[in-house]
Amino acid sequence: MDAIAERKAVLRHEARARRDALPVAERIEASFTMAERVAGALRFDAGTVISAYLPIGSEVDPRPLMALLADRRARLAVPAIVAGELEFRELLRDAPLEPQGFGTHAPGAGAAVLQPAILFVPLLAFDRSGARLGYGRGFYDRAIARLSDIHPDLRTLGLAFAAQEVDEVPTGPHDRRLDLVITESEAQGPSAAAFPTRPAR
């Protein structure tokens, strides 16, 4: 194991432990706070395809946010794992979901495959430069690279609890930085200056 991979493994273990240690009520409240902040500040046209994810374990729950974005006529998608890569399938109300492995679910193979222009990304740890530490399989790094070819103005936003911040995430040549990481207290990353820290009213 090289030095970067070893450091990432340690950070993953530590960040997951901090996230798991947050009280459930605190995680729920923080998820709603993020939903209100992001839905009030994010600008997009009706019909824009926005992908989030269905949470596993102690991840930030983006479902309150997805409901608010749907109210603003976003077209929602969530990732499915197909041949080791992420395929973004349309999420419709009451559509059946199928297990994808790793504890997550997605619409079945009959769902429309979409190419999101805005991507909400789960993570284990992040730093103030927008560097993200995922689960080590590279799913999102590869998906961001592919979607960037389709949407040159692709926006990538991480959802995390403040407790997941670290001083520095070690990165390699294939690691993709996020435009923003939103926590219950602030937004950080290259595009943070343009993102209000309080919900728009």
Work out the average pLDDT over 17-26: 97
Q: Is 11 annotated as a binding residue?
A: yes
Q: Is 27 annotated as a binding residue?
A: no
Domain boundaries, the chain: 3-194
Q: Is 12 annotated as a binding residue?
A: yes
Query: What is 3-194's CATH number?
Result: 3.40.50.10420
Q: Is 103 annotated as a binding residue?
A: no
Question: For residue 46, how far is the Cα from the chain centroid?
Answer: 21
Q: Is 176 annotated as a binding residue?
A: no
Q: Is 53 annotated as a binding residue?
A: no
Q: Is 57 annotated as a binding residue?
A: no
pLDDT band for position 194 (cuts 50, 70, 90) = low
Q: Is 177 annotated as a binding residue?
A: no
**What single string gives the DSSP state of each residue in 15-35?**
HHHHHHHS-HHHHHHHHHHHH
pLDDT tens for each residue of 96-129: 898 887 778 889 889 999 999 999 999 999 999 9
- Mutual orientation of helices 24-41 and 63-71 as an angle, nearest 10°? 30
Question: Are 154 and 148 a contacting pair, CB within 8 Å?
Answer: yes
Q: Is 119 annotated as a binding residue?
A: no
Q: Is 112 annotated as a binding residue?
A: no
pLDDT band for position 63 (cuts 50, 70, 90) = very high
Question: Are 157 and 187 a contacting pair, CB within 8 Å?
Answer: no
Provide the greatest CA pair distance for the chain. Answer: 49
Q: Is 133 annotated as a binding residue?
A: yes
Q: Is 101 annotated as a binding residue?
A: no
Q: Is 135 annotated as a binding residue?
A: yes
User: Residue 126 has what pLDDT?
Assistant: 96
